[in-house]
Amino acid sequence: MADNADGPRIEELHADLNAAQRRLQLVLDAAGATCGWEWDISKKRFVADALFAGITNQDPVELADGVSPDRFFVSIHPEDLKRVKIAVAGIIAGSEVFSREYRLLRADGGYRWVRASGRAIRDAEGEPAKFVGSLIDITEQKRVDEQLRIAQSAGGIGTFEYIVGYGTISVSEQLCRLFGLHPNKMLPVRTLNGLIHPDDKPVIDLTRPDELQSEGNIEFRIRRASDGQERWLARRGEYVDDIHTDGRRYVGVIFDITEAKHTQESLREANDMLAELARESLRERDRVWKNSRDLLVVIDTAGVFRDVSPSWFDILGHAPDKVTGSKVIDAVWPEDRDQAKSDLRKAAENIHTEIEVRMTHEDGSPRTISWMTSREDDRVYAYGRDVTVEQQQKVALEETEAQLRQAQKMEAVGQLTGGIAHDFNNMLTGVIGALSIIKRRIAARRTEDLDKFIDAATSSAHRAASLTHRLLAFSRRQSLDRQSVDVKQLVTSMEELFQRTLGEQIELAINVAAETWKAETDANQLESAILNLVINARDAMPNGGQLTIETNNVAFTEADLAKGETLEPGSYVVIAVSDTGTGMSQATIAKAFDPFFTTKPIGQGTGLGLSMIYGFAQQSGGHARIYSQLGMGTTIKLYIPASHATGEQSAFEKEEEAILPRGKGETILVVEDDDSVRMLVVDTLKELGYRVLEAIDGAQALPFIEGKGRIDLLVSDVGLPGLNGRQLAEIAIAARPALNVLFITGYAAAAAARAEFLAPGMEMITKPFAIDDLAQKVTEMLKPSNPR
């Protein structure tokens, strides 16, 4: 009965033992276990290990023994449940692979992430018989993934994986966002490529799907699907061996580089622009260098050519590469080298210089080059122009100009001759006419009233003499007989002459300041100048008017005189002749002092009047000025240096009172080559009671001079054939140191200024001269008070 009693107990023990054994087994299993499960599809039975039981909060013993398959879904997060159920349904219906990630609720209320990987095991008919697999806790991995996701999201970095040959690409959420796509794990490659700018490289190049992608980094533009914005993205990645197939996977990241690209782009543009500018200026420089027709050279401070432009060949004939490296001085024309050395130094020391130097052409001839240099640091840049031809032309031009001047002079001489001929003919007519009347009267023995004709002839001849004087004054070769002249008296004495000249239509006013100084000038010339001005004034007033003659004093200091003024500072007597006539335009004023300028019809004047006055004033050390406006009349002022001599009588008064002196038998040697002049002089002197020796030239005169005979005075023409008057005089004085000499001259070229020509004891008288003047001069020189 004990058996019966023990039966159930033994069974219990057996059961306990079994259970213990199983537990032991399970513990052992657990050591290397994997959360595995086995789902028998046909038997609808589910078995799982202890770890699976633990992770899903189920009784391990129950699961080990086998339970209903719906226990697979225990503890799955409600939100994930449907997905898992569909996937499981797929496996049961024939899908091969199961792979899902989902959340399992934990006992403490939280949840863990697991990945369930499984597959269907098929029976002989190929129908799914069992569904086996295991869970892996991927919570930690998920957390890392999450961190990675956040990092990617924060960093804007998208990731992808691509298996070579496939049409799809697995992508991260962030990658989808970069492309403006809805988050998705798997995308057709073309979806991404379709957003990429057609000119840029695609993410994955599908034109050769079976080949490896270029592993390099690429950058491309995309049109973001969400907002159409264009962005720049960069791809980086590398190939890894695919675990599941024998193929390769391309794993990479994509990130936004728009900002960097824009910065880069604007930098590049700026760079390009700069580079282009630089290139352009370089090209321009090159063009200038290559195409310059002038020489461009670079010289170092040692005077060696560093570079020369191709134009060197055209201008100087040497190949530029032969010149480069040679010494500058060797290229210079030998005669110019000394100068060139100092020029080179100058160019090296100064920033800018201009140098003209001859260089040697390849053919051995010189070329004149005008250089402009510019120094920068230790280089001298020089620009050279060939001025050889220019200089030749300049010389030719100067010759032509000289020829032209000569032609103009000849023309002027012609004009002058014409004018003088007119005036001279008038005067000669007076002389010849009067002489022929006198001749006829004498023949008819009607000698009464002859004086009238003689006076007329004399007057005409004097006028002719005054004309030649004026001509000489104009040519400034008339020697001025400067002395102190009382201008007040001179002007006043001329009043009657003015009245006669002006006629009744013109009112004359003479306004002479009482304090007017005396002037240092030639009285005759001054008289002539004033008369000339009065006549001009008259001619300017054909319908009458007022003519005013004033005298005054003026003193100029340095400060009073404008720059370029010809007057020297000092005291001047001013003689002003004003009319109320037609006046002159500025153009006329500008030319009024030019020789031969005249407003009168041709043949009615020499056009020398004002120019002679100007010449006279200048020669006196003064000046002449014109003040005029058209229709407002004209004032011409003569500035004559004031004289500081006092009490001297004017030449005029002296002349008036001249009494012909008589000689006392003194011996005078007359040397004159003109027979008529010599005869006149000799006759006059003899008449005056002198003893006279005659000679035609120096050769005839020398015997008298060297002889023992008495000679008290030598009267000689200056322009003698052979020995001239001055040379003769020197011989004479050397032989007879006490001898005085009186020169007669018609054209005292050498005697423009008396003082330079005449030594003490020498005097001069100008042809034509009045016999009285000659007598006066001779007497004066023979006075014992005037010894040599």
Interface with other proteins (CB under 8 A), residue from 139, 191, 264, 324: 191
- Residue 163 CB, shortest distance to other proteins, in Å, is 7
Asked whether the beta carbons of 430 and 460 are under 8 A apart, the reply is yes
C-beta of 136: minimal distance to other proteins in Å? 21
Give the 3-state secondary structure of residue 95: coil
168 binding other proteins? (CB under 8 A): yes
Q: Residue from 206, 253, 454, 471 that binds other proteins (CB under 8 A)?
A: 206
CA distance 707 to 301: 79
Write out the E strands in 150-229: 157-163, 168-171, 186-188, 218-223
C-beta of 19 vs 97, nearer to other proteins: 97
Give least dist CB 256 to other proteins, A.
Answer: 20
**Residues 347, 355: contact at Cβ < 8 Å?**
yes
Measured between alpha carbons, how far is 142 from 109 in angstroms, rounded to an integer?
Answer: 18
Residue with Cβ nearer other proteins (165 or 787):
165
Peptide bond into 768 cis (omega under 30): yes
* Of residues 196 and 450, the one with the C-beta less far from other proteins: 196
What is the pairing mode between strands 740-745 and 713-717? parallel
Contact 391, 345 (CB under 8 A): no
Longest dimension (CA), the chain: 232
Supply the minimum distance, in Å, between the C-beta of residue 206 and other proteins. 5
Q: Which is nearer to other proteins, 202 or 252 (CB)?
A: 202
761 and 741 Cβ atoms separated by less than 8 Å: yes
Near other proteins in 103-142, by CB under 8 A:
120, 122, 126
Give the separation between CA 308 and CA 322, rounded to whole angstroms.
Answer: 10
246 lies in the binding site for other proteins (CB under 8 A): yes
How many chain residues bind other proteins (CB under 8 A)?
45
Beta carbon of residue 32, minimum distance to other proteins (angstroms, whole number): 27
Taking CB under 8 A as the criterion, the residue among 186, 443, 587, 755 binding other proteins is 186
Nearer to other proteins by Cβ, of 187 and 490: the residue is 187
Helices (H) and strands (E) in the chain, counts: 25, 28
Site for other proteins in 224-243 (CB under 8 A): 225
- Cβ closest to other proteins, residue 54 vs residue 90: 90
Rule CB under 8 A: is residue 450 a binding residue for other proteins? no
Minimal CA–CA distance to 239: which of 182, 168, 162, 327? 162
Q: How far is the CB of 252 from other proteins (least distance, A)?
A: 18
- Which of 155, 247, 418, 709 is in the footprint of other proteins by CB under 8 A? 247
Kindly write out the interface string for residues 79-108 of this chain, putting x where it contacts other proteins by CB under 8 A and - elsewhere: ---xx-xxxxxx--xxxxx-----------
User: Per rule CB under 8 A, is residue 167 in the interface with other proteins?
Assistant: yes
Q: Which residues of 713-731 are buried (b: 16+ CB within 10 A; e: fewer)?
A: bbbbbbbbeebbbbebbee
Helix, strand, coil percent content, the chain, rounded in steps of 5? 45, 25, 30
Stretch that binds other proteins, among 188-196, 368-376, 439-447, 542-550 (CB under 8 A): 188-196
Using an 8 Å Cβ cutoff, are 98 and 55 in contact? no
* Nearest-angstrom CA–CA distance, 738 and 137: 155
Which residue lies nearer to other proteins by CB, 136 or 206?
Answer: 206
Name the minimum Å distance from CB 71 to other proteins. Answer: 11
Of 191 and 492, nearer to other proteins (C-beta) is 191
Q: Which is nearer to other proteins, 98 or 593 (CB)?
A: 98
SS (H, E, C) 589-613: HHHHCCCCCCCCCCCCCCCCHHHHH
Other Cβ atoms within 10 Å of 83 Cβ, number: 13
CB of 20 to other proteins, least distance (A): 34
Question: Rule CB under 8 A: which of 41-70 touch other proteins?
Answer: 69-70
Residues that bind other proteins (CB under 8 A): 69-70, 73, 82-83, 85-90, 93-97, 120, 122, 126, 163-168, 170, 181-182, 186-191, 193-194, 206-210, 225, 245-247
